[in-house]
Amino acid sequence: SFPLAPFVNFLLVLGCIAYNLGTGSGTSVLEMVAVFEKASGKKIPIKLCPRRPGDATTVYASTKNAQKELGWKAKYGIAEMCRDQWKWASNNPWGYQSKP
């Protein structure tokens, strides 16, 4: 596994600050799958498995620092973000690269 602490310390020495960007609300994996299925019009195959040892039951990232220090707040919800991402990816199948 990647040793995260030295990397974070390196960024702090450089004066870099990380901000969590998002809606500020939690979204489960299954909710995300359902929203993306609706946005794409495609069924996403999933396999439900038991939780593995060490898996977190919930994970949230606070967006308060981005709001307070940058004045940043999400303008759109998960459904709009997934729809726009699908539209962009569909119109740009090679991403930012030119067609091979």
DSSP 76: S
Q: What was the pLDDT predicted at 17?
A: 81
Name the pTM for this structure: 0.70
What's the mean pLDDT in 57-79?
Answer: 89
DSSP 65: H
Question: Please, which pLDDT band fits residue 12 given cuts at 50, 70 and 90?
Answer: confident
DSSP 50: P
- List of domains in the chain: 4-49+58-91 (3.90.25.10)
What's the mean pLDDT in 12-30?
Answer: 84
What's the mean pLDDT in 63-77?
Answer: 91
Percent of the chain topping pLDDT 70: 95
Task: Report how far residue 8's alpha carbon sits from residue 3's, in angstroms, rounded to the nearest whole number.
Answer: 9
Instruction: For the chain, give the longest Cα–Cα distance.
Output: 46
Is residue 63 predicted with pLDDT exceeding 70?
yes
Q: What was the pLDDT predicted at 2?
A: 59
